Amino acid sequence: MNLFAYGTLMFPEIWHRVTGLTQHGLPATLGHHAACRIRGQPYPALVEEDGAVTAGILYTDVPRGAMARLDDFEGTFYDRVPVEVTLTDGTRQPAWVYRAAAGTAPDILPERWEAASFGRKELGRFLHEDPGFTEPGRG
């Protein structure tokens, strides 16, 4: 299975911690969607939005076990839905993405989530606090 990551899962440290995988993804974009900030949270919500384009990473051939861990990590706030993403060479690929289950939830803000800002300000704390997930093999 292919997975398009647009938020915290773009960071190799988080990807490995959640999935146990060390693979690198391919730069890709998803049209008609926006990664928005969530009030009080360091991670984003993906919502449908005409004309918007969200940059992210396409992970290919993600094993079922890793997808199950991702489903647990994302929880009920997100639905895993099929989309089509565009690679930098213009090739289009089918993928799954985690989109906010309630795209108009009041805690989803109109401001865009920024990966660079998360990396500078939140990544270390996010990893340290281990928010509801553990490394594969950790008890």
One-character DSSP codes across 94-136: EEEEEEESSTT-TTEEEEEP-HHHHHHHTHHHHHHH--S---T
Distant-in-sequence contacts of 99-106, Cβ < 8 A, 24+ apart: 99/33, 99/46, 99/47, 99/48, 100/45, 100/46, 100/47, 101/76, 101/77, 103/45, 103/47, 103/48, 104/47, 105/45, 106/39
- How much is the pTM? 0.91
Average pLDDT over residues 75-104: 94
What is the average pLDDT across 4-28?
Answer: 94
Residue bearing tokens 């500078």? 120
First-to-last alpha carbon distance for the chain, in angstroms, is: 27
Per-residue model confidence (pLDDT) at position 133: 62
Work out the average pLDDT over 40-65: 96
Interval 97-137: pLDDT, tens: 999 998 778 899 999 999 999 999 999 998 888 655 654 43
d(CA 27, CA 90): 11
Amino acid 128: pLDDT: 84
Q: Mean per-residue pLDDT for 86-106?
A: 93
Of 87 and 103, the structure prediction assigns the larger pLDDT to 87
pLDDT (tens digit per residue) in 35-52: 999 999 999 999 999 999
Query: In the structure encoding, which two tokens stand for residue 81, read together?
Result: 């839905």
How far apart (Å, rounded) are the C-alpha atoms in residues 29 and 20?
Answer: 24
Name the residue with tokens 């647009």.
6
CA–CA separation, 1 and 139 (whole Å): 27
The pLDDT value given to residue 136: 47
Q: Report yes or no: 73 and 7 within 8 Å, Cβ to Cβ.
A: no
Average confidence (pLDDT) over 83-99: 98
Which one has a higher pLDDT value, 134 or 94?
A: 94
